[in-house]
Amino acid sequence: MAHNAFYAQSGGVTAVINASACGVIEACRRHPDQIGKVYAGHNGIIGALTEELIDVSRESDEAVAALRHTPGGAFGSCRYKLKDIETHRAQYERLIEVFRAHDIRYFFYNGGGDSADTCLKVSQLSEKLGYPLTAIHVPKTVDNDLPITDNSPGFGSVAKYIATSTLEASLDIASMCATSTKVFVLEVMGRHAGWIAAAGALAGQGEGEPPHLVIFPEIAFDREAVMARVDYAVKTYGYCVIVVSEGARYEDGTFLADAGNTDAFGHRQLGGVAPTLAGMVKQDLGYKYHWAVADYLQRAARHLASATDVEQAYAVGEAAVELAIEGKNAMMPAIKRAAGTPYQWHIEPAPLAEIANREKFMPRDYISEDGLGITQACRDYLLPLIQGEDFPPFDNGLPRVAKLAKHRVERKLPDFEL
């Protein structure tokens, strides 16, 4: 007999998290004997707690298919981490009430490391609270910091966007450097891990090709060494392109972005490694600079998604449903890379207990000895992930995005305070 499924998006969204949603929903539709309706949480897990459910079964096949090329989180995401069952028993009991009220027996949670922890806790409900639930985590994070899986869906598209943007902006500054800007700084995401910054390095392929420096959170920032390299690049190549991670930090752990900028009122000014670093360049070397902060643009840039990433994002969604149907509780479909070339990948289930709350940083041998670039091993790892283009359809000059009806499921339970 078929039971219903619950799907929720969690944490920072990506250009392809909706492709995973598409994979989950389409796979559920292919198994009407096991899975009845798919309900999506409005704003993630909060939607389950507050019983704000979107009836995805009422969306047309076309609208669901369009999720594959729509960035952002179509059902709403949230940053909300459930504490352990002992501390927050009321919340877990509420989840079960909602699941029971709507005959939900499958739980698909689409998120990163923190979310994997939530999913793991939900997967334990079955045992601890005696409700039959199969919980599967669908991996997603632009930060690429999930363990076990070879890469995280969402990352490949940011990587392609940052590598392309670095290449394009480098051509711009190269044309202007004789009489104008000498240094260009691009700030990219990655508070703890430098994977996205590393992707910027794909824009150049050899000695002197931009970017001339990559600044990782994993390597303590050494102002003198960085400025010496910037000066060298400007004197040797005429200009210098720097890709810097938002998480760049000093030896003592202080973020560059937090280190002392104040506004007109003396308030500490948060954010902006790029302007901070550009200011140092001006101060120490006197060069004219430009800087860009890609922020949400990078993780929403579905127009330049990696086809490999889109395919993998869809595949982990689809695989999550297959695992659930096989009764594999507390698992995550992980991407495994086969050894050798050409690049080949497949999906293998991994136990959530090995994934939750662990971060995967750049291995030291992916970062060049001087700490300011990537190695061939890193390039070999990254390049397959940005392969292929998967341009969305365009209408009237702009990308077409999914228009969902988002019918709400009728509520059956009393209100619940978060």
Closest Cα partner for 5 from 417, 317, 314, 316?
A: 317
The CA-based dihedral angle spanning residues 8, 11, 14, 20, taken in that order and rounded to the nearest 10 degrees: -30
Closer to a copy of itself by CB, 224 or 369: give it.
224
Closer to a copy of itself by CB, 269 or 368: give it.
269
Sign of the CA dihedral 207, 210, 215, 216?
Answer: negative
**Residues from 281 through 310 that contact a copy of itself (CB under 8 A):** 283, 290-297, 299-304, 306
- Is 150 labelled as part of a ligand binding site? no
First to last CA, the chain: 33
Closer to a copy of itself by CB, 8 or 96: give it.
8
Closer to a copy of itself by CB, 1 or 178: give it.
178
**Residues from 187 through 206 that contact a copy of itself (CB under 8 A):** 202-203
- Is 297 labelled as part of a ligand binding site? yes
**Residues from 47 through 86 that contact a copy of itself (CB under 8 A):** 70-80
- Coil, helix or strand at residue 39: strand
Catalytic site includes residue 143: yes
Residue 18 and residue 10 in contact, taking contact as beta carbons nearer than 8 Å: no
Residue 11 CA to residue 76 CA, distance in Å, equals 10
- Give the amino acid at 335: I
> Dihedrals φ, ψ of 114, to 5°?
-60, -40
> Dihedrals φ, ψ of 296, to 5°?
-60, -25
275 near a copy of itself, judged by CB under 8 A: yes
- Is 213 labelled as part of a ligand binding site? no
Six token digits for residue 391? 């341009």
Smallest gap from residue 269 Cβ to a copy of itself (A): 7
Q: Which of 6, 8, 12, 211 binds a copy of itself (CB under 8 A)?
A: 12
**Residues from 92 through 111 that contact a copy of itself (CB under 8 A):** none
**Residues from 131 through 190 that contact a copy of itself (CB under 8 A):** 160, 163-165, 167-176, 178-180, 184, 186
380 near a copy of itself, judged by CB under 8 A: no
> Where does this chain touch a copy of itself (CB under 8 A) — which range of 101-109, 264-272, 311-319, 338-346?
264-272
Residue 10 and residue 110 in contact, taking contact as beta carbons nearer than 8 Å: yes
Positions annotated as catalytic residues are 143
